[in-house]
A = this chain, B = another copy of it.
Amino acid sequence: MLNVYLSGEIHTDWRDEIVNKCNQEGLVIKFSSPVTNHELSDNCGVQILGSEDSNFWKDNKGANINSIRTKKAIEGSDVVIVKFGEKYKQWNAAFDAGYASALNKSIIVIHSDDNQHPLKEVDAAACAVTKDQDQAVKILKYILEGTI
């Protein structure tokens, strides 16, 4: 059994792709992920705790609440998969990778060749750098079952 946290972009369905392929392979994996409702993830702080005039404190409230879920997920994981896509700054994904690295978690990074150079430090901390979800699933299958 493997605990896998899926960190990174929340506006595409890459997590579903990984989860579905792993299910098809019959792999026993417990996945966790951040809240992937982008709008709610941004607004959870003020919706629950009350509005703020400044964006800084609105985001501070939201990010702190989201950190409860992220921290539990990373600390409980064996493998952290971090996907870097084409949109947004994605500093939270790199932050998660650093956090996971300091906790000595095994990291798998997914990114296209375009981002190779700026991700070199993150890649160097990883056990594998894949081009897509398919390669990541193959690694999970190999780790769990010893077959490809």
**Tally of contact residues, A, Cβ under 8 A:** 72
CB contacts (< 8 Å) of A119 on chain B: these are 89, 91
Distance in angstroms between the alpha carbons of A84 and B121 in the assembled complex: 16
With A121-B91, A127-B67 as known contacts, state yes or no: A35 contacts B146, CB within 8 Å: yes
CB contacts (< 8 Å) of A125 on chain B: these are 67, 95
Distance in angstroms between the alpha carbons of A59 and B60 in the assembled complex: 15
A117, CB-defined interface residue at 8 Å: yes
- Closest Cβ–Cβ distance, residue A64 to chain B (whole Å): 5
Residue of B nearest to A103 (CB): B102
Q: Are B124 and A60 in contact (CB under 8 A)?
A: yes
Q: Are A69 and B138 in contact (CB under 8 A)?
A: no
Q: Are A91 and B122 in contact (CB under 8 A)?
A: yes
With A62-B120, A119-B91 as known contacts, state yes or no: A2 contacts B143, CB within 8 Å: no
- Closest Cβ–Cβ distance, residue A76 to chain B (whole Å): 9
Q: Mark A34-48, 1 if CB is under 8 A from B, else 0.
A: 011100100010011
With A49-B129, A49-B135 as known contacts, state yes or no: A55 contacts B117, CB within 8 Å: yes
CB contacts (< 8 Å) of A102 on chain B: these are 98-103
Question: For chain A residues 84-119, which have a beta carbon within 8 Å of chain B?
Answer: 84, 88-104, 106, 115-119
A128, CB-defined interface residue at 8 Å: yes
